[in-house]
Chains A and B, each alone.
Chain A
Amino acid sequence: MNQRLSVSSDPGGPGPDAFAIHAVDLRRRFGERWAVDGVNLAVPSSQIYGFLGPNGAGKSTTVRMLCGLLIPTGGRATVLGHDVARDPGGVHLAIGAALQATAIDDRQTGLEHLRLQGRLYGLRRAETERRIAELQDLIELGEAIQRPAATYSGGMKRRLDLALALIHNPDVLFLDEPTTGLDPVSRFKLWDEVRRINRERGTTVFLTTQYLEEADELAERVGIIADGRLVAEGTPDELKRRIGADVVIARVSGDPERARQVLDGIPEVERVDVDATEVTATVGDGPTAITPVAVALAAAEISVETLTLRQPTLDDVFLAVTGHRLATGTAAQPDAGASELATTGRTSQ
């Protein structure tokens, strides 16, 4: 708990009303466990914000608090100026949300879902029918829209779920892992739709994901959450630049900690992270550094299975700030450099 303040930054600057989503020291405890532990957010209007983290990191709990479904244990958050604790009704009118579980009633048809959603949001019949027509391209259900949702595939249900969140033209859209379980084609299509909604309406999109590619592709800014804390934040490019220009990754068959010690001694190497059998060296200039790295490992008689030079990805950023890769979830010890990067992670704007 003592790191909470050190890794979370106060948004400062303009007041909460200047942002579509604003949170200060947002916390939520379940029993003895802090699921969200001092998250600060300042997401301006019309931005696509990616909230990246592994399962159990606190993404969904944060979203549920911001949507007014869960009362925070501490801190404060507003969505379009509506306090999520004191004015959940105002929040519900302002937002649309597709949460992690696809919330579809198998006994209703797609059309019945949409019409009921329209009625609950106070839309007049003509408004609802117009919105359904506008959402047809997204829903892509064709004749199936008249069939009970029990007959739909997972992708069809996901698309319907998103359409339900959009029926009233919300100003802020929360998407909690919207593409989990979707095939690649459906995923790309949903990405296009999120971009279109954001571009055409200026809808603010708060997107949680555990897919690095998704955050990289969609989000203008990315917040990385681990163990309930926001450990880094910035544009994807900023985050990658923070850890260096290039990374050299050595997959070793021997002791990776020995490889770390060897690489730590090379002047061209700025930092070294270890995750399972992968040793990741962040370097200023990859082509210049790769030869000394290879020579040093060979001289130390460390067996190297592969040696890769590439530009940093968000997974490398995640490794740097949490000590393990998002893709593997393998735990490793964060080093001092990781802490340093974490403390430089600032909130948006």
Chain B
Amino acid sequence: MTTTAESTSTTVDQRAAGVAPNLARRAGFFRDVASIAARSLRQARREPETLFPPIFVPVFFFMILVGSLEDTFGHTGLNDFRAFQLPVSVVLAVTGLTRAPSVVTDITTGYFERLLLSPVNRMALLLGMMVADAAIVVALCVPVLVMGAIVGVEFVTGFVGILAFVVFATAWSIAYVGILYAVALRSANPTVTSQTFLLYFPFVFLSTTMVPREAMKGWLSTVAGFNPLTYVYAALRSLITEGWSGPDLLKGVVAIVIVGACTHTLAYAALRGRVSRSRP
């Protein structure tokens, strides 16, 4: 993580002869991350169609679930089914929202190798894209929260709670996308990478997406107890309806950290393999 400028290799003879010097120097880790993130965001701006599903799906599910099940779920003890479902909408919007597939394109077109020829910090190649993902997730939380406000969902934790809600959603999203980057970097295969979305289903539907844990019975309740997303939901919901609930928030943080540690370890291992100078 070198942040200081490094002298270039222009020879003394070249300088004496008035030849334009080699201008290359290390830009520094944070500038590298910012450069890669900015590029990723530019790409996202040019591909607005990729943002349509993450906006449409949560709004669609919210409308359908609230419209059809709000009355039915009254017996589960839920006072506010809309508040219960808003975190689901956010999770549906941000889980798997990533620019990871563009890594595959970069690898297959040779542009990734062009980046490796430069003095860019290798870690910045991955972190820069994740920073861009985080920025997109934050932006996508806005329409979902606006939708919640329109249908009357209020945060008992106030504006700070809304910010904490966005931070939680973003942290979950970044923890989850590590696995997608791992697959993209490891396989460099668009088909394999796109199949990774299947992971989304067990995470989302074997958790408290539809009903609270107390209303679950048998194996589903047991599985949901091991699903980290259950605790992320609990943290998000507590910010809306319960206030600053330390245990719920702490469990949510732990769940995100565990998922993130696993997926990011895989992602960084895949990055190391991809930039390895031993590979053909």
Residues of A whose CB lies within 8 Å of any CB of B are 30, 45, 67-71, 80-82, 88-90, 92-95, 97, 99, 101-108, 112, 116-117, 119-123, 127, 131, 148, 161, 164, 168-171, 200-202
Contacts and interface: CB of A to CB of B under 8 A. Distances in A.
Given A69-B117, A171-B11, A121 B23 contact: yes
A67 B117 contact: yes
Contact of A117 (B6, B110, B116, B118): B118
Nearest to A90: B9
A168 B22 contact: yes
B5 A122 contact: yes
B280 interface: yes
Nearest to A93: B24
Given A105-B111, A121-B118, A164-B114, A169 B278 contact: no
Contacts, number: 128
A168 B105 CA distance: 26
Contacts of B278: 70-71
B277 A70 contact: yes
Nearest to B38: A116
A135 to B, nearest CB: 12
Contact of B27 (A89, A106, A122): A122
A30 B120 CA distance: 27
A332 to B, nearest CB: 30
Interface in B33-55: 35, 38-39, 42-43, 46-47
Contact of B119 (A71, A93, A97, A202): A93
A104 B119 CA distance: 18
Given A93-B25, A101-B110, A103-B109, 12 more contacts: A95-B117, A99-B117, A119-B31, A120-B35, A121-B119, A122-B25, A122-B28, A164-B114, A169-B22, A169-B23, A171-B10, A171-B14
B46 A116 contact: no
Interface residues of B, number: 44
B22 to A, nearest CB: 5
B242 interface: no
Interface in B69-123: 102, 105-106, 109-111, 113-120
Given A93-B24, A202-B14, A120 B118 contact: yes
B22 A108 contact: no
Nearest to B2: A89
B27 A121 contact: yes
Given A68-B277, A164-B114, A108 B23 contact: no
Given A112-B39, A120-B120, A94 B24 contact: yes
A102 B22 CA distance: 23
Contact of B110 (A95, A99, A200, A201): A99
A93 B32 contact: no
Contacts of A112: 39, 42
A304 to B, nearest CB: 47
Contacts of A67: 117
Contacts of A127: 23
Given A69-B277, A90-B9, A104 B111 contact: yes
Most B CB contacts (10 A, CB to CB) among A71, A119, A170, A200 go to A119
A155 B32 CA distance: 29
A165 B77 CA distance: 65
A92 B17 CA distance: 24
Nearest to B26: A122
B18 to A, nearest CB: 11
